[in-house]
Amino acid sequence: MLLELKNIYKNYIQGTMEVPVLKDINLCVEEGEYVAIMGPSGSGKSTLMNIIGCIDKPTSGTYLLDDVEIEKCKDKELSEVRNQKIGFVFQNFNLLPRQSALDNVALPLQYAKVSVRKRKQKAKEMLEMVDLGDRLNFKPTQLSGGQKQRVAIARAMVADPKILLADEPTGALDSKSGLQVMELFDTLHKQGVTIIMITHSDEIASYAERIVKIIDGELYEGDAQPKTDETDMPDSVTIGGDVHE
């Protein structure tokens, strides 16, 4: 098993209140799987993604990533695990605005202590892979949204991580650029990369092989639905219906 989350809880402290956000999440993902995470706004998807990506730690529960017990890791070990095993893609690209596409993509290799010449070579190859071989020296402001996201994917994958985590990767894109991103994800999936992607779109989610839902901090898969007290529901409400906002 590549990743295994057991009884994960996450509470945020808000003033003197403790706000429960994730409630008893159990999720196993095998190497090479392609998983979509769906659910309403505020349900805890990004919070879960940050835990999976070792950006944040759960309040309680255990998380095994590639046999490493994440909750026992010190911050330094955690950033090593993160740099080696995980690539991130975000809705708003998160590129460094003053750096060229090439330098943005080369950046993760700096942490991996690769020589400057090799970094540039590998970054160039990655940009060619995402069909941006003719935009190496363009800065983010000189690129379209779809191009920026392809730079971000090249950067996420440059250090050969096993896992690609994507938080609404097509959320800021037009449908054509969104589909290009999905084609790239398909290519990476075929190469054996494990992909976990948050999306609000049924069409985008249909590219994944497996869909899990988070509703009010709880995870549901397959036909399972949140327990609803039917006696409280007016007739017009469809129980277990569409949860999208």
* Contact residues: Mg ion, CB under 5 A: 46
Choice between 48 and 101, CB closer to ligand ATP: 48
Buried b (16+ CB within 10 A) or exposed e, 138-160: bbbeebeebbbbbbbbbbbbbbe
Distance from C-alpha of 142 to C-alpha of 131, rounded to nearest angstrom: 16
Residues at the contact surface with ligand ATP, assessed by CB under 6 A: 12, 14, 19, 21, 39, 41-47
Distance between alpha carbon 182 and the CA centroid of its chain, in Å?
13
- Binding partner selected for residue 43 from Mg ion, ligand ATP, none, CB under the kind-specific 5 to 8 Å limit: ligand ATP
Question: Which of Mg ion, ligand ATP, none lies near 12, with the C-beta cut-off 5 to 8 A by kind?
Answer: ligand ATP
What stretches of the chain adopt beta strand conformation (E)? 3-14, 17-29, 34-38, 60-65, 68-69, 86-90, 163-167, 194-198, 210-215, 218-221
CB of 86 or CB of 132, closer to Mg ion: 86
62: amino acid identity, one letter: T
CA distance 69 to 77: 11
Q: How far is the CB of 197 from ligand ATP (least distance, A)?
A: 13
Nearer to ligand ATP, 21 or 156 (CB): 21
* Least spacing, CB of residue 166 vs Mg ion, in Å: 11
Cβ 41 to ligand ATP shortest distance, Å: 3
Cβ nearer to ligand ATP, comparing 45 with 85: 45
